[in-house]
């Protein structure tokens, strides 16, 4: 390929991405909205016994490529009843999201990790410790490095509250 052909290819790829990206976001939002009535009512009926809404936690776990290398992510939680969502970024720029439920002193979430290399799905299950400032559990994720399921211990440590304790959890 000559310089002109490469430039044309780059320009056409960027233009196609600029057109396609908003369409993907619109399709995702429409699909999410249409499925929201299909959420399990049983999960909505769980009584939350932990208030994570308005709190910030640091998650620490062993890395996928080298179990001896620790990774940390800071998560900000939002809670509605027993349902929780949290978002965070790791130092390498990976965006991490959690979505799940709280019940019986435990957090159970589906995870999405996304960076320039791709998107990975996984899970986190953790239990609140007696001090209410730490949760320990397991994190699973498909590793592109080893092409296998990675199961790692995860420790959440509460950093701070962003709202008062009476505002943490939004009830149904």
At residue 141, the 3 state secondary structure works out as: strand
Same domain, 57 and 93: yes
The verdict on 94 and 157 lying in the same domain is yes
Residues 23 and 82 in one domain: no
Tokens at residue 123, please? 């899970």
Residues 11-42 have pLDDT tens digits of 554 444 444 445 545 554 555 455 455 566 77
Are 28 and 82 in a shared domain?
Answer: no
According to the model, what pLDDT value does residue 169 have? 45
Same-domain check for residues 80 and 62: yes
CA distances from 42 to 5, 53, 94 (A): 57, 21, 32
Range of the domain at 111: 43-167
Pair (33, 76) in one structural domain: no
How buried is residue 76: exposed, middle or buried, by Cβ count under 10 Å (0-12/13-18/19+)? middle
Categorize the per-residue pLDDT at 116 as very low, low, confident or very high, splitting at 50, 70 and 90.
confident
Number of domains observed in the structure of the chain: 2
Domain check: are 30 and 48 in the same one? no
Q: Tokens at residue 10, please? A: 């780059």
Rounded Cα–Cα distance for residues 98 and 106 (Å): 14
**98 and 52 both lie in a single domain:** yes
Decide which of 22 and 145 is more confident.
145
Residues 13 and 80 in one domain: no
On whether residue 172 sits in a domain, the answer given is no
Non-local (6+) Cβ contacts of 11 within 8 A are none
61/74 same-domain check? yes
Nearest one of 136, 154, 146 to 64, comparing CA atoms? 146
Residue 85 pLDDT: 93
- Residue 91 sits in the same domain as residue 10: no
CATH number at residue 58: 2.40.128.30
Nearest CA to 97 out of 145, 141, 162 is that of 141
- For residues 35 and 92, the model is more confident at 92
- The reply to whether 81 falls in a domain is yes
């Amino acid at each position: 390929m000559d310089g002109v052909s490469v430039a044309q290819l780059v320009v056409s790829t960027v233009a196609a991405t600029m057109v396609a990206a908003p369409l993907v976001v619109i399709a995702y939002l429409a699909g999410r909205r249409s499925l929201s009535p299909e959420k399990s009512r049983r999960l909505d009926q769980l009584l939350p016994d932990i208030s994570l809404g308005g709190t910030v936690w640091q998650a620490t776990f062993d890395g996928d490529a080298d179990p001896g290398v620790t990774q940390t992510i800071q998560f900000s939680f939002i809670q509605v009843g027993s349902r929780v969502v949290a978002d965070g970024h790791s130092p390498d720029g990976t965006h991490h999201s959690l979505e799940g439920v709280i019940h019986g002193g435990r957090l159970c979430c589906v995870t999405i990790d996304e960076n320039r290399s791709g998107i990975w799905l996984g899970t986190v299950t953790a239990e609140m410790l007696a001090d209410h400032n730490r949760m320990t559990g397991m994190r699973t994720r498909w590793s592109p490095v080893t092409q296998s399921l990675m199961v790692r211990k995860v420790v959440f440590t509460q950093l701070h509250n962003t709202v008062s304790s009476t505002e943490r959890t939004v009830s149904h």
